[in-house]
Amino acid sequence: AQSVTQLDSHVSVSEGTPVLLRCNYSSSYSPSLFWYVQHPNKGLQLLLKYTSAATLVKGINGFEAEFKKSETSFHLTKPSAHMSDAAEYFCVVSPRDNYGQNFVFGPGTRLSVLP
Amino acid sequence: NAGVTQTPKFQVLKTGQSMTLQCAQDMNHEYMSWYRQDPGMGLRLIHYSVGAGITDQGEVPNGYNVSRSTTEDFPLRLLSAAPSQTSVYFCASSESTVGNTIYFGEGSWLTVV
C-alpha cells in the first residue's frame, strides 16, 4: 500500500525568502516520487521527479527536492520565493517496480507568497 | 503537441441529467485515468485503464462509467448527475504507473444544480 502525507495544508512566505514544502510517503515498493504544481484554474504541471538516480532532484523554476529513504521524505525547496510561485503543490508517489498500482496524491499544500 | 485534451472545460447540469466528459491523448500512453478534485481533498481516482479494453475502479467510482475502446480516448460518463458530483475533473495519462510521469489535461469544471 502507498500513502502520501503533506504536513502543511498552507504555507505562507515573503517574496525572496526560502520555501519548504514537506512530504512524507509510505510505499510497499521502491517508490517514484513527483511534485506537481497547480496554478488557479489550471491543470497540474510536473515540477520534478525522483525515479532512482540522484537523490537530489532539480526541477523547473528553481525548485529542488531531496529523496531521503531513511526519513521516507521528499521535501520540496526553493531558495528564494517569487510571486509567481503562489499555487497549490502536490506530492505524488507511484511504485517503481510494481506495474498496476496507481499514483497516489497527497492532499496538497497551498503556497502563498507575500510581497 | 496536444498532450491530454479534455472537453468541455465548463458545464452546468441539472440533477438527473447525464453527460460525457471527453478525454484524448496523443502520446500513445497505455495508462489513462480520471480524477476529481474537491477542496481540501486533493485528487481522488475515479476510474483508470491500463490499456484498450481494460478499465477498473478507483477510489470513488460510484455514479461514473468509463470505457476504453481505443488507446487514445477515455471518456467519463455521468449517468444521473447529482449535486455531490459538482467538482473539477482531470483526465491524465502515462506510459505506465511504474515510475513514469503522469500528464494532465486542463480540467473540466462541472456544476450540478
Place of cell 504541471: A45
Confidence check: pLDDT of A96 > 70: no
Region A43-69: what's the mean pLDDT?
91
A4-8, A99-103, B13-17, B41-45: range with highest mean pLDDT? B13-17
Residues 6+ apart with CB under 8 A from B39: none
Confidence check: pLDDT of A98 > 70: no
Q: What is the pLDDT of residue A2?
A: 77
Confidence check: pLDDT of A97 > 60: no
At A16-45, the pLDDT tens digits run 999 999 999 987 777 889 999 999 888 899
Place of cell 476510474: B47
Of B50, B94, B109, the CB nearest to A100: B50
Between A30 and A108, where is the model more confident?
A108
At B27-39, the pLDDT tens digits run 999 999 999 999 8
Place of cell 515573503: A14
Q: What is the pLDDT of residue B2?
A: 72
Chain B residue numbers with beta carbons less than 8 Å from the beta carbon of A41 are: 107, 109
Say if residue A58 is exposed, middle or buried (CB neighbours under 10 Å; 0-12, 13-18, 19+).
exposed
**Interatomic CA distance for residues B110 and A56, integer angstroms:** 39
Q: What is the pLDDT of residue A41?
A: 83
Region B79-89: what's the mean pLDDT?
96
Angle among Cα B15, B19, B23 to the nearest 5 degrees reads: 140
Question: What is the identity of the amino acid at A15?
Answer: E
Q: What is the pLDDT of residue A17?
A: 97
Q: Are strands B108-112 and B10-13 parallel, antiparallel or unpaired?
A: parallel
Q: Closest by alpha carbon to B72, among B98, B102, B52, B101?
A: B52
Residues in A lying within 8 Å of B, measured between beta carbons: 9, 32, 34, 36, 41-46, 49, 51-52, 90, 92, 94-103, 105-108
Region A59-83: what's the mean pLDDT?
95
Alpha carbon A78 to chain centroid, angstroms: 11
What cell numbers appear for A70 in the block? 531513511
What cell numbers appear for B37 in the block? 478534485
Would you call A86 helix, strand, or coil by DSSP?
Answer: coil
Chain B residue numbers with beta carbons less than 8 Å from the beta carbon of A106 are: 42
Region B7-29: what's the mean pLDDT?
96
Confidence check: pLDDT of A101 > 70: no
> pLDDT averaged over chain A?
90
